[in-house]
Structure 1
């Protein structure tokens, strides 16, 4: 017997027992520590009067390698579950920048971008951390 044939009776049983199903909503997770670091960095840029002339565009994107779907079952009267998830689940990240001195190399990495990856893998390896170097 195929799985599709079993889904119908399951949904009917859930409906008769007063349950419904829904996908969890994603809520971007921003920690207090990251908020403080962002404010400190922005204050540094303002104090040093950095105009960011050497950065025209910097971006990252990600590719999901598989379809990870989840479904929650709850009573009809209850609220939809909101799960604290990072903005992008575990995926392959790609990062690149274009500046006055040309384009950076494209960097690929797994996991989540944190300060160590950004500083060591992206800024140092691409030379972006040293303003005098060409990317």
Structure 2
């Protein structure tokens, strides 16, 4: 019997069956293949309701790294429904969820959040200007001669055009410096990890204290982070005995130290402009950059704190994102 006749017979019995479909089944039987019955779909794909949207939103707020595949599985396990990835992506987007690379910030423990919030509120209410504050810090500088962004011609088929060599164990140096609204200290460059004795002798006694006596003869506030060598009994004794006014600020707060942004500019300058190939070129690049760190640049970076402080208050002592 021909497929058309079979289809007519099925129609008389009130059964669905287009002759094209019947023909496929007949050929499958002739070839010894099994016939898989797929029930007809009415109304297209399963429609997503506000309840499903609310579920997706809650899951993403709990874990913002869930992919459409993850959400698809969660919806299936919770509601017993299969939604396509395209439907999930569309609803996710309509609820305001967009994909972006993560931005990282410092970890701030709860006790320090409380102290950060209190300190920023105090600064905000008192109209703090930081006119006599010396912001200091150390940083690790690694030899890197490629900027973070580059362009390539999409028609270039040469693989090497996309590859930039990088040292497995790059040369590195440590630097220390301070900035204030009256200018910057000189930058110290050293290798190896510094202990309390070296910190006091090389930095505080030979570099910082003479500079303070020259630039801030009528009073100052010296800011440093809570590194163990900064807080040791030996260091605290020196600061007290030699009239260095240690201005304590909250821990885990690099966003409240403007010299951190200056370090970022320095590292970008070294990668993009200097492109050092050895330690000598790296050190020379640092020294050349520091010659341009004048009073105006220092004031600009310190002034940025007036944007950071309200943000810290808004974040209830959390990371500002700056």
Normalising to structure 2: TM-score of the pair? Answer: 0.17
**Higher RCO, Cα 8 Å, sep 6+:** 1
Larger helix fraction of residues: 2
Larger strand fraction of residues: 1
Q: Which has the larger radius of gyration?
A: 2
